[in-house]
Structure 1
Amino acid sequence: MDQQVNMYRKMLAAAVSSILLEHGFDTVEKECLGTLTEMIQAFISEVGNQSKNYCELSGRSEPLIADVVLGFVDMGFNFNSLDSYVKSGKHSVLPTLQTQQPQKQLSMLPAGTKQPLPSHIPQHLPQFPDPHAYVRTPTHKQPIIDYESVREKAAIQKKDIEKALTKFLAKTSPTHNLFDTDESNIFPLIACKPAYPPYLSALLPPGSDFRSRGLGL
C-alpha cells in the first residue's frame, strides 16, 4: 500500500512540475514542490469526497459527471475553465504509468530445521524461528586443560605480569637513561638502591632476627 501511495505521489509531483513548466517556471525548490503537491492532493481528495456525498444523496453508488460538477461548484471552482484548458492543447501529457517490480525480500540464511507447531497451537499463528533462537547454545569455549597449553598460558601470564610491574616501577621510581638526552622516557632503567652498608646482607644469614636489632642499625 505504501508503495502505491508513493507512486501516486510521484505522479502528482510530475503533474505539478508540468503545470509550473507551462507557466514559465524553469526550476522549483523541493520544499515548494512538496507544498504544491500536498495542496493539489488535498484539492482532489476534497472534490472526490464532495462528489461521493452528492452521489449518495441521490441514492446511487457510483458518481456521475454531474456529481463531480456539483463538487466543483460547492468548492467555488468554475468547471467551464477546466474544459477550456483541456481543449487549448497547451498542456503537456504525462507518460503512462509503468508497473514497478516488487522488491525482493532478502533471504536469510537458515540455521537448522524449523520445528512444526504442536497440535495445541493453532496453525494460523507464526511458525517457530530457527532452532538456535530458543535452543540452548553454549556461549563460551570449553576450558583447555592439557598440560602444554596450561604451562604456556601460565608462562605468558607471568611474562605479562613482570612487564606490567616493570613499567609501573619505571613510572613511579627513579630511573636511569641509556642516552644522554633530556627525554628520560626513552629506554628507562630502574635505578638500583644499594643497601647500606653493602656487606650487611653477607654477614646476616637469611631468616635471622639480627637484621632489625643487631649492630645497632
Structure 2
Amino acid sequence: MLGLLHTSPVHVPVFDGLRDAEHPGLELRHHVVAELLARARREGPDAVAPAVRTALVRVAGGEDGSRGADGAGAVLCTCSTIGGVAEAVGAELGVPVVRVDRPMAAAAVAAGSRVVVLATVASTVGPTSALVEEEARRSGRDVSVRAVVVEEVWSRFEAGDLAGYAEGVARAVREVRDADAIVLAQASMAGAEALVPEVRAPVLSSPRPGLAAAAALASR
C-alpha cells in the first residue's frame, strides 16, 4: 500500500488515474489536509511541521508512525511547498516519504544547466529551487536555477477552472526563453504539459515520475 498526502482533493483522481494506467493493483490511501498549504503560504513551510507529522502518522497507518499489517509501505507527499518538511518528518518517524517533485528535479538537472522553475504559488519557489540545486550537487553538475511565478492563474485553480488554469500555465511556459528544462513546480500544473508540445526545452511535471518512485519504494 502507498499513502498519499495531499493539500487539495483535486489530486486524488489524478493519482488514481495514473495508478490505474501504470501501476494496476497498487493500493492507494489518500489523505487530504488543505490547511497545510494555506498555513505554509502564510507562515512558511517549517511552521506546519507538527501538523505534517500528525498527517503522516495517519496516512502511514499507525498512531506512533509505525506501519502495521494495514499500514503504508511509503508515503508520497504531493505538495511541493511542504515536501521537504514531509521528508524530514518522515525520517524522524521512520516512515519512508517521497516528495513528488524529487524525480522531476533530477530529470531537470540531467537535461541541462539552465533550469527554469515555473510556479503559480510563490511559497513553492524556494523549496523547489533548493531541491533542483540539491539534485545538481548530488549529480556533480553545475546548474543555474531561475524562478518564474505566475500567481495570477492560481485563482482559476482555486475556483475549480482546471482547464483555464492549465492554459494559463501553458501561456507562461511559452514565454520562457533560454532554458534547458522547464519545471512545473506544483503537481496541479501537470495538465499544462500536454498543451505545449511546441516548446523546445523539455517541460517536466511531477505526478507520473513521483508516483513511480513512491510505488517502487512502497513495494520493497
TM-score when normalising by structure 2: 0.24
TM-score w.r.t. the length of structure 1 is 0.24
Larger strand proportion of the pair: 2
* Greater relative CO (CA pairs within 8 A, separation 6+): 2
- Is the radius of gyration larger for structure 1 or structure 2? 1
